[in-house]
Amino acid sequence: MWRISSSIALAIFVFWCTISESLTQLDGLTDAKPKRCSHERAYEMYGAYCVGLKLHEIPSLKSGIEILDFSENRLQELKADTFSSYTSLKYLYLAENQMYNIDKDAFAPLGYLQTLDLSNNVIFNLPQTIFQLPSLRKLYLKDNPLLHLSLPKLQLHKPINAPLELLDISNCKILVLPNWGPLPHLIHYNISHNPLSILEPSHFAAMCKLEKVDLTSAIDNLPYCGLKPTIIWLQEKRVYFQLEDYSKLNAKEFNDCPAATEGFGVLNATHQQCKALHLQFQNHKTSRRTWLNVAGGLAGFLIGFILLLYLMHRHNVSQTKTKAEKMKKAIPTNDSDNQAMVPILNELNDVSRL
Ligand SMILES: *[C@@H]1O[C@H](CO)[C@@H](O)[C@H](O)[C@H]1NC(C)=O
Ligand SMILES: *[C@@H]1O[C@H](CO)[C@@H](O)[C@H](O)[C@H]1NC(C)=O
CA-based torsion, 84, 182, 230, 153: positive or negative? positive
Strand order in the sheet with 240-242: 38-42, 45-49, 67-69, 91-93, 115-117, 138-140, 166-168, 188-190, 212-214, 240-242
What confidence tens digit (pLDDT) does each residue in 138-161 have?
Answer: 999 999 999 999 999 999 999 999
Nearest alpha-carbon partner for 86 in 134, 48, 116: 48
Q: What is the pLDDT of residue 80?
A: 96
CA-based torsion, 94, 95, 96, 101: positive or negative? positive
Q: Are 69 and 93 in contact (CB under 8 A)?
A: yes
Q: What is the pLDDT of residue 14?
A: 42
Best residue for ligand 1 mutational test, from 138, 167, 216 (most atoms within 8 Å of Cβ): 216
**Which DSSP helix (H) or strand (E) runs through 15?**
helix 2-30
Task: Check if 190 has its Cβ closer than 6 Å to any atom of ligand 1.
Answer: yes
Beta bridge partners of 48: 39, 68
Q: How far is the CA of 169 from the centre of ligand 2 (A)?
A: 29
Task: Check if 144 has its Cβ closer than 6 Å to any atom of ligand 1.
Answer: no
Q: What is the pLDDT of residue 49?
A: 97
Rounded distance between C-alpha atoms, residue 61 and residue 75, angstroms = 16
Q: Are 170 and 194 in contact (CB under 8 A)?
A: yes
Report the first-to-last Cα separation within the chain, whole angstroms. Answer: 147
What confidence tens digit (pLDDT) does each residue in 299-344 have?
Answer: 988 998 899 998 998 888 888 777 777 666 665 555 444 444 444 4
Mean pLDDT over 110-118 rounds to 98
Contacts of 34 (CB under 8 A, 6+ apart): 53
Nearest alpha-carbon partner for 49 in 68, 63, 77: 68
What confidence tens digit (pLDDT) does each residue in 193-217 have?
Answer: 999 999 999 999 999 999 999 999 9
Q: What is the pLDDT of residue 21?
A: 45
CATH number of 33-262: 3.80.10.10
- Closest protein CA for atom 13 of ligand 2: 265
Q: What is the DSSP letter of 330?
A: H
Q: How far is the CA of 214 from the centre of ligand 1 (A)?
A: 7
**pLDDT higher than threshold 90 for residue 50:** yes
Give the residue extent of every domain in the chain: 33-262, 285-354
DSSP-based three-state secondary structure for 242: strand
Q: Are 123 and 102 in contact (CB under 8 A)?
A: yes
Q: What is the 3-state secondary structure (H, E, C) of 95-113?
A: CCCCCCEECCCCCCCCCCC
The structure's pTM equals 0.77
Q: What is the pLDDT of residue 331?
A: 58
Ligand 2 atom with minimal separation from the 268 CA: 1
Nearest alpha-carbon partner for 71 in 6, 129, 143, 17: 143
Ligand 2 atom with minimal separation from the 236 CA: 5
Q: If 0-12 CB within 10 Å is exposed, 13-18 middle and 19+ buried, where does residue 184 land?
A: buried
Q: Are 123 and 150 in contact (CB under 8 A)?
A: yes
Nearest alpha-carbon partner for 199 in 167, 240, 228: 228
Ligand 2 atom with minimal separation from the 261 CA: 13
Residue type, 43: Y
Strands 91-93 and 101-102: unpaired
Task: Check if 119 has its Cβ closer than 6 Å to any atom of ligand 1.
Answer: no
Rounded distance between C-alpha atoms, residue 207 and residue 275, angstroms = 9
Nearest alpha-carbon partner for 82 in 62, 109, 48, 113: 109
Q: Are 208 and 278 in contact (CB under 8 A)?
A: yes
